[in-house]
Amino acid sequence: MNDSQEEKILKEFGKKLEKLRKAKDLSYRKFSYAAELSVSYIQKLEAGLSNPSYTTLLKLAEALEIDLSEFAIKKV
């Protein structure tokens, strides 16, 4: 995978994360508290500027009350 593909994947993940957060009507503050992550880190994830670890994905899914598979994106 080259850098361009990775950037596209991170951007797509960020869009999906933001959509899921907003669908649950969660502010950054409420979401960060539930996920035990900082607001700034969540903002970086939603902007596609950070690559989350597996542990972070688990925290995000738990905070959103979704299955981890919901984060799956189509191949870019």
Q: pTM score, two decimals?
A: 0.91
Provide the terminal-to-terminal Cα distance of the chain, rounded to the nearest Å: 11
Cβ–Cβ under 8 Å, residues 65 and 75: no
Give the pLDDT score at 76: 58
Q: Angle 42-46-52 (CA atoms, 0-180°, nearest 5)? A: 65
pLDDT in tens, 28-59: 999 999 999 999 999 999 999 999 999 999 99
Domain span holding position 12? 3-71
Give the pLDDT score at 57: 98
Number of domains in the chain: 1
In a domain, 53, yes or no: yes
Cβ–Cβ under 8 Å, residues 76 and 11: no
Cβ–Cβ under 8 Å, residues 5 and 74: no
pLDDT-based confidence at residue 1 (cuts at 50, 70, 90): confident
For residue 42, the domain's CATH number is 1.10.260.40
In a domain, 76, yes or no: no
